[in-house]
Structures are given as C-alpha cells and as structure tokens.
Chains A and B, each alone.
Chain A
Amino acid sequence: MLLDYAKLASNSLKKRKTRTYLTMIGIFIGIAAVVSLIGLGEGLRAAIMGQFGFLGPDVLGVQASGLNFAGPPGTAVVTPLTDDLADKIERIPGVEAAINRYLESGTMEFNDRQVIGFSYSVPEGEDRKVFERMLNLEVAAGRPLKDGDRDKIVVGNDFTLDSMFGKGVRVGDRLLFQGHTFEVVGVLKKKGSFIFDGSLAMNEGILKDLFRKGDDTVNVIGVKVRDVKDVGRVKEDIEDLMRKERDVEKGEEDFEVSSPQQTLETLDSTLFAVQLFVAIIAGISIVVGGIGIMNTMYTAVLERTKEIGIMKAVGAKNSAIFTLFFIESGLLGLLGGAIGVLLGLGLAYGLAFAGRALLHFDLIRAQVSLALILGALAFSFVIGLVAGLVPAWQASRKNPVDALRFVK
C-alpha cells in the first residue's frame, strides 16, 4: 500500500524533472555542507583530544591555583606547591604513588639551531616504573632513563623530524639544554601530542641540581590512585590534607585537584560549542532548502488540482490524497539528503586530505560517523515531510467539484 504511494509519488517527481532536480539541489547543498563541516569538526576534535587523552582515569593532578591557561602547569601560579606534599599525599589510603613533577623551560640547541621548549623530570627509584606507566612512556629507539643517569636525556618523537632542528636527532647525539650538554639515550614512541613529542625528559636529580638549587617548589604533583573506584574519595582526602597543610578555608582554596578527564571534558565542551555554532549557520541553508520543497509542493498541488478532483470523484479519500503528497515531499527531502550525504563525505575527506597535504597540519582530519550519516538522512526526510505538510493538507481538503472545474 505504502509502496504504491511511493511509486505514484516518484512518477510525478519524474514528470517534472527540472523542478525535482532544482528542489533537490536546494536540499543537498545544505546537507553536504552540514555533513562535511560536522565531519571535519569531529575529526579535528578527536585529533585535539588525542593530544591530551593519554592519561588514564586513575590519575589525579594537584596544582597551585593561578592562571593555568597562561603556560605549562605550575608556572603562572601565586603560591607554588612545595616538595614535601607528595610524601604526605602518598600516605592517604588508596594512593599508589604521589610524584613530584618538575618542568623547566629552556633553550634546546642542536645542529646549530635553537628551539625554545621544556624538559620534564622522571622520578628515580621505585616511582620510575609508576611514572612510566602513568604517562605511558615507551621508547621507540635506544633505552629509557635509569637510575644514576646524569647528563642523559630521552627526547620526544618530534626531535627525530628534520623540521625541528633542520636535522633529525638520533640516539647517541649530543644536545644542549640551557647551555648544558646532554647525551640522547632514547627516543620516545610518538604520542600524537605536540606537548610530549616536543619536550625532553631527564632524571629528577640532575634537573633539580642544574635548575632548582635551593628551591623547594614543585610544578605539579601527579597522583596515581590504586583503584579507579576510589578516585572520588581520594580526591576529597587530598583536598582535606591540602587545606590543612596550606592553612586555607573551604571555598578559599589556593590549589586545585583535578583529574585529566575533567580537564578534557571542559575542553571538549568548548570545541563542541564551536562546532555547533558552525553547524547552525550551515543548517540555515537546509531550512532554505526546505522552503524550496514547500514551494515545489504548493506548485504541484496547484498543477494537479484537476487530477485530485478526478481521484476524489472515483472514490479517493482525503487521507489518501494527503499521504500521496506527503510522501512525495518526504521523498524529495530524502533523495536530496542522500545525494548530500555522498557529496558531504567526499568533501570532508577531500578537504581533510588537501588540508594535510597543503598546510602540513596533521590535526586536520575528517571523521564522519554512521550516526551522522543516518542523522542527516533522517533530518532531510523530516524536513521534506514538514515542508509537505501544509500543501498536502490543502490538497486533501479540495472540494472535488471545484477541483474538477479548475482551469489553469
């Protein structure tokens, strides 16, 4: 039954080819724009999230409050953390390890070129294994740092690229950091994060000796919780301890305990808002396309007034006439949507490819999910149906006698 309606509808669409094509162009331009923009946005979002998403849900970070967006953690703060806190935090039940983390910015020199970057500390002793697991540090070449290494460093994967110093750094090379000579003993696997891939690691001892003499401040304290289920409770315990240690009241904390997951969620919602804004502006064109469908359907109803009269005269019910036009309109939307999705897919992946090739910007990626495709199809079908509602209703209410008498 419904199939018959669909057949009738597609026949009348075929009869008015130019108009059908033009109406569909209206819809598919909009759908293609939305699909490709959302697809590119999703890809970019996934790529950006990948930059930070390497820390597990069982890791907490303790930082002094400040302008945390203004630089690496622990740099733009007012009252820095001190290095005695980690041991106290470690005594909280459920904490596997609390690790002082030191970051030091400086000039990195290799191949007679200079780059500004930073180094981070790797703890010595038992904490080393926990730390390596926490940050998922694995070497792609050479070896990881070990206790007793002094003027040795492990570098991020970007150091092997010619783009950083004009010549890739290899294991065994010598590199200057803040004027001190270090031997590269290992290269880390690529993490996809420009922060990690572009910085270097050295043992805590040498970093403190060279750069933190007589300084008891720490950038961040990384806390590994033994059981993921305890993260919430441990976080509260750390906050209680910190309040006592730093002598601040509840609500006036000058420190923050956060899980990387939380930070990610904030970032994600910001990116999502941007994506939504762009999609809404692109979505305007779909609405305009919908208006086109409505227009076409009004014309179709007018043109076929006589036809409607005849159908009614031979016993067609109002509901049958309604369904006929309603389906025709939905079909217009759906067909337009299908072409739009195909075009959008091509555009998204094509643009992402071109962007990567031309701008050498690895974060430009497209990611069109099945949900997006189905959503776009459903949306275009619904737009078609909604646009057809009033014209179809008008068609169904036509008086058969008047309709038969109608002259164009």
Chain B
Amino acid sequence: MNVDLFGYSLSNLAHRKMRSFLSILSILIGIMSIYALISFGMGLDAYVKGLAEEAGIDKLFVQAKGIGAPGTDENFFLTQDDADFIEKIRGTDQVAPLYMKAGEIAWKDEKKYRFAMGFDLENEGLVMETFAVDVAAGRQLRKGEADAVVLGYNYQFPLKIFKRKIAAGDTIELNGKELKVVGFYSEVGNPSDDANIYLPKEGFEELYPASKEKYGWMIVRAEKGTSADDLADRITERLRKHKGQEEGKEDFFVQTFEDALATFNAILGVLKGILIIIAFISVVVASVNIMNTMYTAVVERTKEIGIMKAVGAQNHTILLVFIFEAGFLGLAGGVLGVLFGWMVAAAGGGIAAAAGFALLKPVFPWYLTFGCIAFAFIIGALSGIFPAKQAAALKPVDSLRYE
C-alpha cells in the first residue's frame, strides 16, 4: 500500500519536472550551506579536543597579569623564585617557566617580527607536550646550546614567512645575532604558532639579557592523583601569600588547560551558532517554497483528488500522498545538498590549509551526513502537512465539479 503511494508521489513529481527541480534546488542550497558550515565547526571541535587530549588534563598555566601578550609587558612578570616556590607546592609535579618576547628574524635580505620563546631543555617533555609539537625535521635543541635555534613549521616552506625556505643547517639572524637552525617543530595548524622561534633558556638569556629570570608565563604539571582545578586554587592562594599580595590584588593568575580551552570553546560555539542560524534561514525559505509548490499541486489536482475519493480513497490516504511528495522533494534536496556541501567544504578546507590554517579542517562523520538528509526530509514533509491537510479535507462532490 505504502509502496503504491510512494510510486504515485514520484510519478507526480516527475510530471512537473521544472517545478520539482526548483523546489529541490532551493532546499539543496540551504542544506549545502548548513552541511559545509557544520563540517568545519566539527573539524574545529575535533582539533580543540585533540589539543586537550594530547596536552592532557593535568596542565595548568600561571601567567603574569599586565597588558598585551604574556611576556611583552615589562612591568608584570613571574620570577625564578616564583617558579621554585610553585615547584614545592603540594601536588605540583613539574614547572616549566617560559620566556616570550618579540624577535627580529632576518633571512636573505628579509626581516620579520615573530615571537621568540625560550625554555629550559630540562623541561623539554612538558613544553613539547603542551604545545602539541614534536621535532619534524633536524634535531631538538640541547641544554646550554646558545647559538642554536629551532623554528616553527612554516619556515621550511618558501613564501609562507620568507620568500625563500630555510633548511636545517642554515644560519639566520635573530635580533642581529647569527644562530644556526638545527631543526623544525611539527605543524600546529595556525600561522601564528607555526612562525614561532624557539631557543634554549641560555641562548634566550644571551639575546635578551634584561629579561633574565623574568617569565611571562609558566606551565605546571599536576602530580598523578591531584586534580588540576584543586592545584590551581592552591597555587593561587599560596603564591599570593608568598608574594605578600591581597586577595583580588594578585599580579598573576592561574588557569587550567581546560579553563583556557573553555574560553576558546565558548567563543567558537557562539560564532558557529550564529553562522548556522543564518544559514538555517535559507532552509526556512526553502521550506516555504516547498509549501508553495505543494499548495499549487493540490489546487491543480483537485479533480484528481475528487475522483480518488469517489472511488473510495480515505482522507488519510490523500494526506499521505501529499506528505510523501513534499518529503521526497526535501529528501532529494538533502541528498544533493550533502553532496555539494561536501565538495564545497573539502575545497574550502584545502584552501585554508594552503593558507596556513590547517586547523580549519572539515570532518564528515556519517551522522552529520545522515542527519542533514533526515533533516531535509522532515523539513519537506512538515512543509507538506498544511497543503496535504487541505487536500484531504476537500469534499469529493465539490472537487469533482472543480474546473
């Protein structure tokens, strides 16, 4: 029975090719934009989640307050004494203080300004884990190596930062001092972090003597069995007392890795939400189009409905016929929309990766594809309800008489 209805709906749609095509086209466009936007959004979520998993939930950041990026405000900084103190707090496993300053890097007649970072190689594991990088080419820095530097991923390629690429073994100038490039870290996925310059603590202190033991921020790892949140509270309280500061007047703040991501996630969530709502408007318009098509179909087939009813078709059969038809319009639009959306997102992801934003990588899980298609079908069927009700409510005698 239902198979018959289905066939009848299909043949009706085929009969009005142009109109069906246009209705499908309109839902297709809406679904396409939603599918593409969500696939990018989910890709970003996966990226952030990956960061959290790689870096782990046992990390905290202690950061000096002040204005601008950490390390750039010379009036606010953390000291070696702070680091030593935090190391002794119960629950702290390891502390990695980090230097961060603007650096002038010169390579073959070109000069750029990027962040230079310095850390003690004793803390190598913790730092690399937090930045979610490993050595992609060449080798790691060595403790005490004052004339060596490791560069971010993008320096290895021409035109990304400098016109010409840099290879391991080349010599660059940093703030006027010649340094040997010993290696490169792996890709982080955003153009800012992939342009960082990494130095051993000793080399950094030679380049920035005034900043010796003035750290912008520190990475802290909590001991096994200590929750990062508890440790964050403990560090805030103990360090405040150690520095003789009052509550609310600290010149530093402590954040867990999850807190840091949560802020980022919240902003990301709002942006995604706004874009998807805006794209959703086109689906609403498309559903109005389907409704319109179906109203027209009902008017056109008034006589047909009369005949069907005269030979015994029940109201709910007529209702189903028209809902099927509308649903099918939605379904077809959904399938095609997902297909085109996939193409658009894949192309967009390729362009973003080429521009250095590898973090903008769309993902296409099966449930997104399935969900979009189901959504399109439901939207179509819902749009068909009012016209279908109208059709079902027609009186057989009146409709037979309709011209």
Contact = CB atoms under 8 A, between A and B. Distances in A.
Contacts, number: 153
A114 B278 contact: no
Given A19-B296, A76-B72, A105-B75, A288 B282 contact: yes
Nearest to A116: B65
Contacts of B286: 288
Interface string B100-111: 011110100101
Contact of A113 (B76, B248, B278): B248
Contacts of A178: 75
Contacts of B69: 67, 70-71, 76
Interface in B78-119: 101-104, 106, 109, 111, 113-115
Nearest to A284: B282
Nearest to A71: B68
B300 A408 contact: yes
Interface stretch (B3-11, B15-23, B48-56, B350-358): B15-23
Interface of A: 18-19, 22-23, 25-26, 29-30, 33, 37, 65-67, 70-72, 75-79, 104-107, 109, 113-114, 116-118, 178, 211, 251-252, 254, 278, 281-282, 284-285, 287-289, 291-292, 294-296, 298-299, 408
Interface in B162-208: 175
Contacts of B256: none
Contact of B22 (A66, A106, A298, A408): A298
B289 interface: yes
Given A107-B249, A284-B33, A37 B278 contact: yes
A75 B68 contact: yes
Nearest to B70: A70
Interface stretch (B24-32, B123-131, B234-242, B369-377): B24-32
A285 B285 contact: yes
Interface of B: 18-19, 22-23, 25-26, 29-30, 33, 37, 65-69, 72-76, 101-104, 106, 109, 111, 113-115, 175, 248-249, 251, 274-275, 278-279, 281-282, 284-286, 288-289, 291-293, 295-296, 300
B29 A287 contact: yes
Contacts of A26: 285, 288-289, 292
A116 B285 CA distance: 49
Contacts of B282: 30, 284-285, 287-288
B66 A105 contact: yes
A251 B109 contact: yes
A178 B75 CA distance: 9
A66 B101 CA distance: 10
Contact of A281 (B18, B19, B278): B278
Contacts of A291: 22, 25-26, 29, 289
B68 A104 contact: no
Nearest to B103: A78
A70 B37 CA distance: 30
Question: Which 3 pairs between the two chains have the least Cβ-Cβ distance?
Answer: A71-B68, A285-B282, A70-B69
B74 A75 contact: yes
Contacts of A18: 295
A18 B69 CA distance: 59
Given A22-B288, A288-B285, A295-B19, A66 B278 contact: no
Contacts of A285: 30, 281-282, 284-285
9 contacts: A71-B69, A76-B68, A78-B175, A116-B76, A281-B33, A281-B278, A282-B278, A292-B292, A298-B18
Contacts of A117: 67
A318 B402 CA distance: 31
